Amino acid sequence: MFRRQCDISEELMIKTANLMKSLGLIDAGYNYFNLDDCYSEKQRSPSGDIVASKTKFPSGMKALTDQIHELGLKAGIYSDSGWFTCQIYPGSYQNEVRDIKLFQDWGFDYLKYDNCAVPFDNITRENIMGRYERMANAISDLSISSAKPPMVLSLCQWGREQGWMWARRYGQSWRTTNDIQPTWSSIADLINQNSFYTWATDFYGHNDMDIVRNGDLSYEEAKTHFTAWALMKSPLLISADLESASKETLEILMNPEIIAIHQDPVVGTSVSPFRWGINPDYVSNETHPAQYWSGESQSGTVFMLINTLDEPATMFFNLTESPWIRAGRQYTVRDLWTHTDNGTTVRNFTAHDVPSHGVVALLLQDAGDEPEGLWPPCAVIEWCMAQDGTMIDPDKKWSAEKHEDL
């Protein structure tokens, strides 16, 4: 994706798309190049169409998308469900059918659809969902009439009206929050908000946590940002000046093991918190989001640990706190950032000296039965009992033979 406020041009777009290829981003799995706002003239044509800016895109949009497609990329365009875009260029309200046909004729495959310049209630007689339904219907009808695949629709409604409850009816992704800022406080806040509706993401639709934007982040914070977005299966939409991107930035954006989890062809669900850590479970805290996460993948169980503190920390968890781990088994440990196999773990795992605002990303794979003779005989001690009725749980100091009513 490319977003640079209104400082855009045909030359810059083509240069950036070519950098995606030469730097290896296309090979890493990034397959869309998306324009954002400000690409058009301020006024529609006399016939009512959006007009591409004659100064920014002198060759026209079809020439641009042709070059993007030749690189092996798909092309994305931007519009708005209101009268105007957020930068006060023509929006698509009451022009949905006209505009989506134009975008298809221009060669675009993807539409980011924003939520600015909202018409008065006595005009719309509908809410945000209704205004997005208008464009979704236009996309569906055009696909049928043109016998072409429907354009991907990305709803940019900033988390308003709980899009995670209804937006999959209309599009493939939906924004869950306000716009991201390139600061740790913004990253932590967005992780916190999304921790409460990870269930909404699967193959058919995705919570969109906004763009991947490193900005003023430290190296460790940038790793956490990318890891959380990828393992929560948010669309990975890069907003960066690739010409000046550092080697470290590119290594983060192209981590093959993290991307493999994000692009898992078998499991489409997000990681979810199993323990909040600093906060009581299920308590919102914009500065200290959930710290302990896990999820499924075709290759094993994924764990993500986030140190939200301003100093290094040791982080510990019992394996069976995750619902995807089987009791009585041992697991090999793969570190998805150091790209190393780190032996076998039984029952628990400790990550030492996790950097401030840093992340640990692990893939655990079943390695067979745990060793015999471990004590206690249950990883989860609650109500642990021998076959003869002997209670192992120290909080319940009695035997079953004395409680025949059980």
Query: Which listed residue (105, 179, 366, 369) is catalytic?
Result: 179
* Pairwise CA distance, residues 248 & 170, whole Å: 37
> CA distances (Å), 268 to each of 258, 264, 306, 366, in order?
14, 7, 22, 20
Which residue in the block uniquely carries the two structure tokens 């062809």? 265
The answer to whether the beta carbons of residues 91 and 55 sit under 8 Å apart is no
* Pairwise CA distance, residues 170 & 134, whole Å: 9
State the angle between helix axes of 61-70 and 10-22 in degrees (0 to 180), rounded to the nearest 10: 10
The answer to whether the beta carbons of residues 82 and 118 sit under 8 Å apart is yes
* Pairwise CA distance, residues 107 & 109, whole Å: 7
HSE, CB side, 13 Å, CA atoms: give it for residue 84.
9
Query: Which listed residue (114, 189, 210, 264) is catalytic?
Result: 114
- Residue among 185, 193, 241 at smallest CA distance from 218: 185
* Pairwise CA distance, residues 95 & 89, whole Å: 14
DSSP 16-31: HHHHHHHTTHHHHT--
Determine whether 105 is an active site residue: no
Determine whether 114 is an active site residue: yes
Cite the active site residues: 114, 179
